[in-house]
Structure 1
Amino acid sequence: MIFVNWIIGPHLIGLIFILAGMIQKRYPPKEINSLYGYRTALSMKNQQNWDEGNRYSTALIIKCGWALVVAGLVITGLLNMVLLSAQITALIKVGLMLAGAFVTVIILFRATEKHLKNKFEQNT
Structure 2
Amino acid sequence: MTTLNEAIKKGDVSNILIHSDQGNQFTSHEYTNYLQSNQMIKSMSRRGNCWDNAPIESFFGRLKEESVRIQKPRTIAQLYKTIEWYMNFYNNKRRQKGLGSKAPTQYQQSSAA
Question: TM-score, normalised to structure 2's length?
Answer: 0.28
The structure richer in helix per residue is 1
- Give the number of the structure whose alpha-carbon radius of gyration is greater: 1
The structure richer in strand per residue is 2
